[in-house]
C-alpha cells in the first residue's frame, strides 16, 4: 500500500557562537578578517576590556555576504534608526535645548545688562580701531570693563556677528547661546563615550532644565561661555584618557579658552592642571611624546597672558581690590586661607545649590527654583557615591576633580553663582550617571529600560517647556525692585521709547536718567551711535545747582528722582508728559518738564552756604591720639574709615569740593608728612600746619594728574613740627561744585 509522506524539510544551518580573545598592548592596532560563504551572514559583537577593569559597552554589527540580500538591506531605514538612535536622540535633544534658549531670548532675562552690552561694544570698537584696544594693544588679551580688565574670549566671539549684523540683543545673546551648545554637547558626549551611558540624551536634557544654567545660558555674560569651554575641555581630556592621545591637543585649546574667558576660571584651570598631573601621571609618562607636544601648544597659549602681565603688572591685584576680596585686606596668611576655605565650603553646601532661598543678586536667580533643581539632589548624591566607588577609573577621578575645582575661583572673592557656574557641568554629569544607573536597576526588576527612559525624557521635556512658559509669563514680576539695587530693568524698553520720542519731537533737549543701572553710558553706546542724540544725566543736577532750563528741555526721571522733584522747593511747575511702566504696572520712567520758582537763585545761594558749613566729630588717630575733626557733610563712610588701615574703606563728600579736614588734637604730635590714599581723579592737595610754639603756619601744596589706578600721595613739610592743629584740603581739580570727593586713607609721620 502506497503512503504519501510529507516532503522532507530543507535543512537549515544551526547557528553557532564562537569567541576569540585578542590581547594587545596600548596603542597597538588589531585587524581581524572574516570570510563568509555565499548566502552567509554573521552577527559580530566586540567587547573591549582593560586589564583590571570591567568590560566596556559592547559594539555590535551585522555582516553579510553581498551575494545575499541581508535583513539590513531589506529594512535599511529601520536598521539605520536602531544603529544610530543615540546620535539621533542627541541631535533632537540639542534642538530642544536651542529652542528653550531662543524662545523669547530678548524677554528673559528681563534686563539687558551692561556686562552684556560691553561685549559687543568692545568688539565694535576693536573693529573700528583696526583690531587695537583703546590703549593701543593689538589683539589685546583682555578688554576693559568698568575699571578692570576682565573681558577676553567673550569679546572675540562677538567680532564677526557684530561686523555682519550690527548691534542687537538677539545677536549678542544668540551668539553666546550657540556657544553654550558646547556645554550641552560636551555633557552628552561625555555621558555616551566616557561614562558609556546607554541614554546620553538625559545629560543634555538635565543641563537644559538646570535653573542656574537656564538663566545664564540666555545671557551674554562671560560666565556661561567659560563653563561651556570647561565642559568641552572635560570631554576632550577624558577622550585622551580613553587611549586616544590626540584628544589632548583640543583639550589644551579648550582649557586656554576657559582660562581667558572669565577671571575665576584661571583658578579653576590651575586646580584642574595640578590635579590631573598627579591623577594620571603614569598615563602621561606612557604617552610622553604626545604630552610634550601638547605642552608646547600650552606654552604658546600662555603667551597672551604673559604679555598682559608685562603690560599690566598690577591688574590682578587691582581686580581683587575692586571685588573687595579679603586677599587685599590686612589679614595674616592663615586668616586668609581660613576665609578662603570657609567660602569654598559654602559653595559645596547642598543648600546653596538646591535650596529655594538664594543669597545671590536677584537678577542672577530664578525665584523658587534654586540654582540646581531640588529634586535632582538625590541623583547628584547617588552619582557622587558611584563616582567615589569607581575612583580607580580615570574618568571618575576627572569627574570628582571637576567638582573640587569648580568653586575654587569663586572662593577668592565671595560666594556667587556667576563665579561658581562651572559646578553645573559636573553636577549634570553626576545626575545623568545616577539616572542611568536607576534605569538599569529598574530593568533588573522587569521594568523595561525603554519605558523608564521614555518616562524620564517626557518629564524632562515637560519641565523644560514649563520653565520657558514660566519665565516668559511670570519672571517679569518675580522681583519688583526694578532699579539699580535690583533687576536694573529697562534698557530695551527705555531706549526704544527714547528713539520714538525724539523722532516725534525733533529738537527736544532730552536728559535721560543714568541712575537706574550700572554703566548706563555703555548701554547708550549699544543702542545709539556716537554721539547720542540726548544727554545722559539726572534731573537731580538741576536741583543741586541752578542750570539753564527752557521749554525744550525734557527729563526722563526714575521714581526716586520724581519723588525728589515733587518734594523740592525749586520748581513751580512739574508736567508729566508720559510714563513708561515697569512690568508690574507701576510707573518706571517719567518724561517730565519742569520750571524753576522765581526766587530759585536765593534758594541755591542759601544751600551753597550750608554746603560749606563744617560738621564736627571725634576720632582716634592710629597712634592713639584723640582728635576733634571738622569736615563737610558725607554721603559715604565715616571719619574712622580714614584711619583703619583698610584701603577699601573710604569717605565721600555729599556735595562739597574741596574736602576740608580740620584737625584739633588733645596733645601735640611730631608731624613731618601726611600721606593720602586717593582714586584716579586729577586732584590738588594742601596741608597747613600750625606749630605749637606760635611760629608761622607751614604750608605745602601738590597736584596730581588723572590715573587709572588708586595711589598714595605724600605731602612733605621738609621738617618735623610739633603741632596740635593742622588742615588737610583735597579738591577734584577739574570739577566744580557740587561734586563728590573721595578719600580712602590718611596716615601721619
Tell me the pTM: 0.80
Model confidence at 11, pLDDT cuts 50, 70, 90, reads very low
Instruction: Give the C-alpha separation, 629 to 620, whole Å.
Output: 10
Q: What is the pLDDT of residues 253-289, one digit of tens each?
A: 999 999 999 999 999 999 999 999 999 999 999 999 9
Contacts of 622 (CB under 8 A, 6+ apart): 643, 645, 747, 748
Model confidence at 359, pLDDT cuts 50, 70, 90, reads confident
The torsion defined by the Cα of 159, 165, 166 and 172, in degrees rounded to 10, comes to -70
Q: What is the pLDDT of residues 238-256, one digit of tens each?
A: 999 999 999 999 999 999 9
Percent of the chain surpassing pLDDT 70 = 91
* Residue owning grid cell 539621533: 88
Q: Give the pLDDT mean for 52-71.
A: 61
Q: Give the pLDDT mean for 586-612.
A: 93
For 701, counting Cβ atoms within 10 Å of its Cβ (0-12 exposed, 13-18 middle, 19+ buried), the class is exposed
Out of 447-456, 490-499, 701-710, least confident range: 701-710
Number of H helices, E strands in the chain: 27, 19
Out of 3-17, 119-133, 345-359, 691-705, least confident range: 3-17
Model confidence at 483, pLDDT cuts 50, 70, 90, reads very high
Report the candidate in 314, 466, 438, 419 with the shortest Cα–Cα distance to residue 376: 438
Angle at 291 between CA 285 and CA 294, to 5 degrees: 170
Question: Phi/psi of residue 391, each to 5°?
Answer: -65, -15
Is the confidence at residue 76, as pLDDT, over 90?
no
pLDDT (0 to 100) of residue 49: 74
Task: Please give the grid coordinates belonging to residue 501.
Answer: 520720542
Instruction: Give the C-alpha separation, 396 to 384, whole Å.
Output: 9
Model confidence at 474, pLDDT cuts 50, 70, 90, reads very high
Crossing angle for the helix pair 181-189 and 85-102, to the nearest 10 degrees = 150
Q: What is the pLDDT of residues 407-456, one digit of tens each?
A: 999 999 888 999 999 999 999 999 999 999 999 999 999 889 999 999 99
Report the candidate in 408, 460, 399 with the shortest Cα–Cα distance to residue 427: 399
Contact 555, 182 (CB under 8 A): no
Q: How far is CA 391 from CA 73, 83, 101, 269, in A?
A: 44, 31, 35, 21
Residue 669: helix, strand or coil by DSSP? strand
Is the confidence at residue 5, as pLDDT, over 50?
no
Q: Give the pLDDT mean for 50-69.
A: 63
Q: Give the pLDDT mean for 373-383.
A: 96
Q: Give the pLDDT mean for 583-587.
A: 97
Q: Give the pLDDT mean for 699-709.
A: 82
Q: Average model confidence (pLDDT) for the chain?
A: 90
Q: What is the pLDDT of residues 525-537, one digit of tens each?
A: 999 999 999 999 9
Pairing between strand 698-704 and 683-691?
antiparallel
Percent of the chain surpassing pLDDT 90 = 74
Amino acid at each position: 500500500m502506497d503512503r504519501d509522506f510529507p516532503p522532507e524539510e530543507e535543512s537549515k544551518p544551526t547557528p553557532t557562537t564562537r569567541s576569540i580573545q585578542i590581547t594587545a598592548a596600548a596603542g597597538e592596532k588589531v585587524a581581524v578578517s572574516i570570510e563568509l560563504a555565499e548566502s552567509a551572514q554573521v552577527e559580530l559583537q566586540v567587547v573591549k576590556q582593560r586589564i583590571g577593569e570591567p568590560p566596556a559597552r559592547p559594539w555590535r554589527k551585522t555582516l553579510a555576504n553581498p551575494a545575499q540580500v541581508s535583513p539590513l538591506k531589506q529594512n535599511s531605514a529601520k536598521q539605520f534608526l536602531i544603529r544610530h538612535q543615540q546620535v539621533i536622540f542627541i541631535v533632537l535633544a540639542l534642538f530642544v535645548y536651542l529652542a528653550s534658549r531662543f524662545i523669547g531670548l530678548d524677554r528673559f532675562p528681563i534686563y539687558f545688562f551692561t556686562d552684556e552690552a560691553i561685549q559687543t561694544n568692545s568688539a565694535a570698537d576693536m573693529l573700528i580701531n583696526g583690531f587695537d584696544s583703546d590703549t593701543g594693544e593689538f589683539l589685546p588679551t583682555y578688554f576693559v570693563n568698568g575699571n578692570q580688565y576682565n573681558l577676553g574670549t567673550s569679546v572675540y566671539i562677538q567680532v564677526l556677528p557684530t561686523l555682519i549684523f550690527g548691534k542687537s540683543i538677539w545677536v549678542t545673546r544668540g551668539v553666546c547661546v550657540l556657544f553654550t551648545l558646547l556645554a550641552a554637547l560636551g555633557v552628552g558626549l561625555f555621558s555616551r563615550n566616557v561614562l558609556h551611558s546607554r541614554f546620553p540624551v538625559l545629560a543634555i536634557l538635565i543641563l537644559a532644565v538646570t535653573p542656574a544654567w537656564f538663566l545664564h545660558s540666555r545671557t551674554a555674560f562671560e560666565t556661561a561661555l567659560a563653563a561651556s569651554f570647561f565642559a568641552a575641555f572635560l570631554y576632550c581630556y577624558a577622550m585622551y584618557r580613553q587611549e586616544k592621545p590626540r584628544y589632548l591637543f583640543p583639550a589644551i585649546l579648550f582649557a586656554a579658552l576657559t582660562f581667558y574667558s572669565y577671571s575665576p576660571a584661571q583658578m579653576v584651570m590651575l586646580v584642574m592642571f595640578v590635579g590631573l598631573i598627579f591623577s594620571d601621571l603614569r598615563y602621561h609618562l606612557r604617552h610622553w611624546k604626545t604630552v610634550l607636544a601638547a605642552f608646547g601648544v600650552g606654552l604658546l597659549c600662555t603667551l597672551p597672558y604673559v604679555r598682559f602681565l608685562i603690560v599690566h603688572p598690577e591688574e590682578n591685584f587691582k581686580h581683587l581690590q575692586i571685588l573687595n576680596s579679603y586677599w587685599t585686606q590686612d589679614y595674616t596668611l592663615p586668616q586668609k586661607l581660613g576665609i578662603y576655605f570657609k567660602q569654598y565650603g559654602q559653595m559645596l553646601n547642598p543648600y546653596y545649590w538646591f535650596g529655594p532661598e538664594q543669597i545671590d543678586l536677584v537678577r542672577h536667580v530664578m525665584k523658587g527654583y534654586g540654582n540646581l533643581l531640588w529634586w535632582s539632589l538625590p541623583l547628584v548624591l547617588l552619582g557622587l557615591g558611584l563616582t567615589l566607588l569607581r575612583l580607580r577609573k580615570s574618568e571618575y577621578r576627572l569627574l570628582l576633580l571637576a567638582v573640587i575645582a569648580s568653586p575654587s575661583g569663586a572662593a577668592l572673592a565671595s560666594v556667587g553663582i556667576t563665579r561658581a557656574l562651572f559646578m553645573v557641568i559636573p553636577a549634570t554629569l553626576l545626575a545623568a550617571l545616577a539616572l542611568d544607573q536607576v534605569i538599569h536597576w529598574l530593568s533588573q526588576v522587569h521594568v523595561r529600560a525603554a519605558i523608564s527612559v521614555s518616562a524620564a525624557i517626557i518629564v524632562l521635556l515637560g519641565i523644560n517647556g514649563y520653565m520657558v512658559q514660566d519665565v516668559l509669563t511670570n519672571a517679569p514680576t518675580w522681583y519688583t525692585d526694578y532699579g539699580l539695587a535690583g533687576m536694573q530693568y529697562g534698557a530695551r524698553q527705555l531706549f526704544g521709547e527714547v528713539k520714538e520720542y525724539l523722532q516725534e519731537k525733533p529738537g527736544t533737549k532730552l536728559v535721560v536718567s543714568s541712575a537706574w543701572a550700572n554703566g548706563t553710558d555703555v548701554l547708550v553706546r549699544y543702542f545709539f551711535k556716537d554721539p547720542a542724540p540726548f544727554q545722559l544725566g539726572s534731573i537731580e543736577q538741576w536741583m543741586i545747582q541752578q542750570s539753564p532750563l527752557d521749554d525744550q528741555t525734557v527729563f526722563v526721571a526714575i521714581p526716586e528722582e520724581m519723588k525728589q522733584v515733587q518734594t523740592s522747593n525749586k520748581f513751580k511747575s512739574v508736567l508729566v508728559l508720559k510714563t513708561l511702566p515697569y512690568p508690574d504696572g507701576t510707573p518706571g520712567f517719567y518724561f517730565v518738564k519742569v520750571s524753576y520758582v522765581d526766587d530759585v537763585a536765593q534758594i541755591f545761594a542759601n544751600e551753597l552756604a550750608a554746603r560749606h558749613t563744617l560738621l564736627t566729630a571725634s576720632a582716634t588717630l592710629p597712634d592713639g591720639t584723640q582728635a576733634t575733626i571738622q569736615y563737610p557733610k558725607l554721603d559715604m563712610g565715616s571719619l574712622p574709615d580714614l584711619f583703619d588701615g583698610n584701603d577699601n574703606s573710604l569717605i565721600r563728600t555729599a556735595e562739597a569740593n574741596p574736602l576740608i579736614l580740620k584737625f584739633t588734637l588733645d596733645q601735640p604730635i611730631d608731624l613731618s608728612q601726611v600721606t593720602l590714599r586717593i582714586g584716579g581723579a586729577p586732584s590738588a592737595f594742601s596741608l597747613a600746619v600750625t606749630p605749637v610754639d606760635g611760629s608761622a603756619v607751614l604750608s605745602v601744596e601738590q597736584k596730581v594728574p588723572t590715573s587709572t589706578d588708586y595711589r598714595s600721595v605724600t605731602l612733605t613739610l621738609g621738617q618735623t613740627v610739633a603741632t596740635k592743629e593742622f588742615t588737610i584740603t583735597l579738591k577734584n581739580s577739574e570739577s566744580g561744585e557740587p561734586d563728590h570727593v573721595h578719600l580712602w586713607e590718611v596716615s601721619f609721620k
